[in-house]
Amino acid sequence: MGSLRLLAIALLLAAPALAQTAKLGVGRPTTPEEIRKLDISIGPTGEELPVGRGTPAEGEKLFTQKGCVGCHGKAGVGGLAPQLQSKKGPEVPIWDRGHILPLNAPFATTVWDFIHRAMPLGNEGTLTADEVYSLTAYLLSVNKVIPEDAVLDKESLPKVKMPIGDDYARLPNWKPGMPRLQGYPY
């Protein structure tokens, strides 16, 4: 019985090494073009943004045409999915307006990136660059981040000043010996 246990342990320890050395003849290396197609991250500077453009008026039409209203409600309020427009105005501090992506995102490119990657639900990644610019413009416009006549594109989108400003990454005023978070008992 002891030798069987020893054999089982030896096999468990050797399995990873054997798995790494085996050539199974399955698959192929990923090409640089395939990697480029999957690298869809958009940073704060917008360098990775595609060519395209959109306005709030175009985005408002698309919001209905693409079925956004069905999940988020008319103008982004009242649906079962997360709210996209604050019911509270700019006189209310940003953190008290709710968890609303077009308000709480640190950069306008974050809003564009999320819509591009994750919408519409069940059909993610199917929107064209122009559609994403338009929907982003619409959501930023209804939240009074940009004017109704704004045009968003690769150049103008990264320049949008988001209402969250520097509060997004504000660090707490913490010193050794203080509780870790305000109201945290330990």
pTM for this entry: 0.73
Cα–Cα distance for residue pair 67/21, rounded to 1 Å: 50
- Report which of 89, 94, 90, 135 is spatially closest to residue 111, judged by C-alpha positions: 135
User: Angle between the 108-118 and 129-142 helix axes, to the nearest 10 degrees?
Assistant: 130
CA dihedral for 78, 149, 115, 165, sign (positive or negative): negative
Mind listing the pLDDT tens digit for each residue in 127-152? 999 999 999 999 999 999 999 999 99
Task: Give how far Cα 31 sits from Cα of 28, 35, 38, 100, Å.
Answer: 9, 6, 11, 38
pLDDT tens series, the chain, 186 aa: 677 787 778 777 777 766 666 566 788 888 888 887 777 788 899 999 999 999 999 999 999 999 999 999 999 999 999 999 988 887 888 888 888 999 989 999 999 999 999 999 999 989 999 999 999 999 999 999 999 999 999 999 999 999 987 766 655 566 677 666 656 554
Mind listing the pLDDT tens digit for each residue in 110-131? 999 999 999 999 999 899 999 9
Q: CA 151, 157, 161, 165: dihedral to nearest 10 degrees? A: 150
What number of CA atoms fall less than 13 Å from residue 119's CA on the CB side? 25
